[in-house]
Amino acid sequence: MSLTQAPTSSPQPKKQLFEQYTQYRNWRFSKKQLQELREQTNANSVERVRRNIAEEARFAAEKPPRSQNGSPQQQYQNSPLSSTYQNSPLPSSLQNSPRPSNSPQVAPEDVQFLTAQEELALCQYYQAQIQKFPSKAFPEHIAANSAIINQIKATAIVFMKRFYLRNTVMDYHPKDILIASLFLAAKCENATLGHEEFRKALLNAVRQPPSKDLLFQLELAISQSMNYDYAVYHPYKAAQGFFLDMQSPNKMKSNKSQQAYTSAFEKCKDYINKSLLTDLMFFYQPSQIAMGCLILAARKISGFEFERYLEKFKNKTQQEPETDNLFAIIDDICKTIDSYFDVDKNMAGECDRKLRFCTNPAKNNSSHISQKRRDIEREERELKRQKKLKAHKAYQEQLEMVFLDEKKDDKSLGEKKPRK
């Protein structure tokens, strides 16, 4: 090899466009990885909440509860993380649920914690409630646009799914994260609105909307959990692209064909909405999910032959190894969407009833552990203040000593007699 010849290197495989997005880099998992992540998050949360419940019981035994806090059940209801809906999706039996875990009547060692599957079921139930959230709960300038409402709801579901990959319902109830996710999603989808404007509109659907401070805290908690990664790509645009590509002047001449295509696209959007409640977004690209939803729609609507449209990709699939499993992926997407069923209301109620016993008392401002921690923080701030004050006082004394020495020197110089 000559000295001027550059060393040859094997060409790097070209990345697909979607692989360059943060949604692929940060939120792409295998099924095994996703299950392990949820189980690890649940295990860590159970260990931490168990310690807090035991600590709460010890503080409760040492110090009687303050009269203004009421019973432990009232403490739970008055907690800032327990917003109540006018039309609660949970069974009415939960209105008289047993005492929460920080009650002296429940021993810490007898508390049964939610499993990873129960947490997932409760989250999926409330994610389905996002799609049922009324448009009147948004300000008028947003509620008038159904397209932006659907986009906001889809993004809120994704935010909620991402949040609970790293957090637990034992710290943050899904009802509160639901509202905060909608608020954050509205801003991310360029439907800007203020805290007060959103809370005022919420009164049309929520009995007691979260306070401005709580909404800000939850918004920050969601953002931090996602590492401020707000970019979300849904299958809607990909589905619309396929839909437009399929149309040709010859096919769209008859009204029957136009109706079939329109009905199929609306059916496809229904399947996309259903796919948002599954974990497909963590496994596959939005375009792949869109293809699966279009196939499911084609099976329901006659005259919409999407599978025949995909025949032209088969030759390309045989030539490019990276797309060999495309049709296997689409088949898995179709099976996952077909097999998904909404979480039963009674099952969600049982999980929520169990949650009331294992809610983290550290998240309740009226609990003993919260009061104790506030007292400790107050004492630490006071110690820091006293230390700072003492240091400032010592500094002032040093300055005074310097000034006194200078005055003495000036006085001694003035007392010296001038030479004759």
- pLDDT confidence band for 100 (50 / 70 / 90): very low
What pLDDT shows up at residue 161? 94
pLDDT digits 0-9 by tens, 159-213? 999 999 999 999 999 999 999 999 899 888 888 777 788 888 888 777 787 888 8
Task: Give SS3 for 413.
Answer: helix
**64 token code pair:** 């009687």
What pLDDT shows up at residue 382? 81
Angle, CA of 194, 185 and 120, to the nearest 5°: 130
Q: Are 82 and 211 in contact (CB under 8 A)?
A: no
pLDDT digits 0-9 by tens, 83-98? 444 344 443 333 334 4
What pLDDT shows up at residue 89? 47
Q: Which helix (H) or strand (E) holds 287?
A: helix 286-300
> In this structure, what DSSP letter does residue 21 have?
S
Calculate mean pLDDT across residues 235-260.
Answer: 76
For residue 296, pLDDT beyond 60:
yes
CA dihedral 334, 337, 339, 340 (to 10 degrees): 170
**226 token code pair:** 């996602």
For residue 323, pLDDT beyond 90:
no
Give the residue with greater pLDDT, 61 vs 330: 330
pLDDT digits 0-9 by tens, 347-392? 999 999 989 888 888 887 777 776 777 777 777 888 888 888 888 8
For residue 313, pLDDT beyond 60:
yes
Residue 400 CA: distances (Å) to CA of 116, 211, 411: 65, 51, 16
- pLDDT confidence band for 398 (50 / 70 / 90): confident
What pLDDT shows up at residue 8? 54
Percentage of the chain modeled with pLDDT above 70: 75
**338 token code pair:** 């077909």
Q: Which range among 42-51, 61-70, 242-251 shows the weakest confidence by mean pLDDT?
A: 61-70
- pLDDT confidence band for 154 (50 / 70 / 90): very high
- pLDDT confidence band for 407 (50 / 70 / 90): low
For residue 42, pLDDT beyond 50:
yes
- pLDDT confidence band for 410 (50 / 70 / 90): low
Q: Are 316 and 323 in contact (CB under 8 A)?
A: yes
For residue 130, pLDDT beyond 80:
yes
3-state secondary structure 123-171: HHHHHHHHHCCCHHHCCHHHHCCHHHHHHHHHHHHHHHHHHHHHCCCCC
> In this structure, what DSSP letter does residue 188 have?
H
Using CA atoms, how far apart are residues 166 and 417, in angstroms rounded to an integer?
A: 82
What pLDDT shows up at residue 159? 95
Residue 222 CA: distances (Å) to CA of 129, 165, 174, 229, 405: 18, 11, 12, 10, 60
Q: For the chain, how many helices (H) and strands (E)?
A: 17, 0
Using CA atoms, how far apart are residues 387 and 173, in angstroms rounded to an integer?
A: 40
Using CA atoms, how far apart are residues 23 and 161, in angstroms rounded to an integer?
A: 13
Q: Are 198 and 260 in contact (CB under 8 A)?
A: no
Tell me the Cα Rg of the chain.
31
